[in-house]
Amino acid sequence: MKQNIFAGLVACTFLMAGVTTPIFASTPDSPVVSITTAQKQASEYLDLQKQHADTDDWDSAVIQEGKVLYDFDGNVSAYLFPLTVNDRPSGYMIVSAYSQTSGVIESTRTGTTPYVGINGKDAIYVGPLMHYKKVGDAHFEDLHLKKKIQKNTLKSKGPLAKENVNRLSASQITPEAITEYKSKTLTGIPDYQWYKGCAPTSGANIVKYWDNNGYPNLVQDTTQPNTIIEYLAMYMNTNSEGGTTVYNMISGMKQYWNLRGYYPTITDHYSNFGSHVTEMTNSRPDWVTTVSHPTYKDHAMTGVGYESYYSTDDFKYHYNVVVHDTWDTTPVNVWLAWNTLWFDHVISVKQP
């Protein structure tokens, strides 16, 4: 069961057992953040959530003892902090071990951590949603797919491998005048699972949301989710591998609405976090697409929220997008750090 967590071709890849992130520049002297500093960063983030978040999931949450996570070569990569509410598991935070990428880089508000029962250097973490367990000297187990992979078959060691950290260190967003925590997460948006393609699946989430919010002709009462997706895939010319161009995403979504008597405004804002914030502020789910993302590769997702804040601990601005990613191996709400290296389109669907 899923829970809540943190004109190119959108290829709609699944979570793969082998990490396929490109090799980045070597940074052998990357400074490692201590677990004490990491816990301070986690505490600051929790305090911001308690004071300003639009949900009450963590209002009485308590951070538990931290756990060290490692990369494929046995280097410290991050720290895991479970949370509890009334002594019951209530999600977790993962804080980067590198000063270049400091702060909370993954979190979820419910459930247990992916590393329950995994001890010491067997707990492997190489990037957002990249959870592994070391099995012997030559194998790793993907904790989502429950599939073993050989170390010598890895195409890359992941974005949080020691040698790859520099790629994540440069901020890709010009700091704005953010003086306080800001966030909004929309509710009532479906999280349909991948079928036919990521663009029609994530688009169906948007269609059904508006069907329930003032546009009842979009979906007939007896129509099943996969039927919505099939229509969208047809209108979008999604190919047999699940790929859809951004142009066809927009034209196909317009066709779906138009044939049902509605005429929305659908706009490609390219890689613009501010446009995504505008859509969330106005309670409009959007499309968010990625290119060469370390976890998602080329993928289309439903944007359902955002989060931005300035950390006085590392003196950095932090920007996160909340998505429904169409995968059945991940939580419902996934918080992802925004970076224009990987997020290439924000597509708004404004009701007529």
pTM of this prediction? 0.72
Residues 249-285: tens digit of each pLDDT: 999 999 999 999 999 999 999 999 999 999 999 999 9
pLDDT of 117 above 70? yes
Q: What is the pLDDT of residue 77?
A: 92
Contact 211, 218 (CB under 8 A): yes
pLDDT-derived band of residue 127, with 50, 70 and 90 as boundaries? confident
Least confident of 77-86, 112-121, 143-152, 294-303: 143-152
* pLDDT of 105 higher than 50: yes
Rounded to whole angstroms, what are the CA distances from 85 to 52, 148, 187? 18, 34, 22
Between 304 and 180, residue with greater pLDDT: 304
pLDDT at 340: 84
pLDDT at 103 over 70: yes
DSSP code string of 319-350: EEEEEE-S-TTS-SSEEEE--TTTEEEEEEEE
Domains and CATH numbers, the chain: 18-169 (no CATH), 182-350 (3.90.70.10)
Mean pLDDT confidence for 65-88: 94
Give pLDDT, residue 242.
Answer: 95
- Averaged pLDDT, 172-187: 62
How far is residue 347 from each of residues 22, 195, 267, 310, 312, measured CA to CA in Å? 27, 20, 5, 26, 32
More confident residue, 98 or 10: 98
Compute the half-sphere exposure of residue 179: CA atoms within 13 Å on the CB side of its CA. Answer: 1
Q: What angle do CA 264, 265, 266 make, to 5 degrees?
A: 110
Q: Per-residue pLDDT for 343 more than 50?
A: yes
> Angle at Cα 278 formed by Cα 275 and Cα 282, nearest 5°?
145
Helix locations, the chain, DSSP H: 35-52, 166-169, 198-211, 225-235, 246-258, 273-281
Average pLDDT, the chain: 84
Which is nearest to 165 in space by CA: 105, 100, 102, 104? Answer: 100
Q: Answer whether residue 107 shows pLDDT above 50.
A: yes
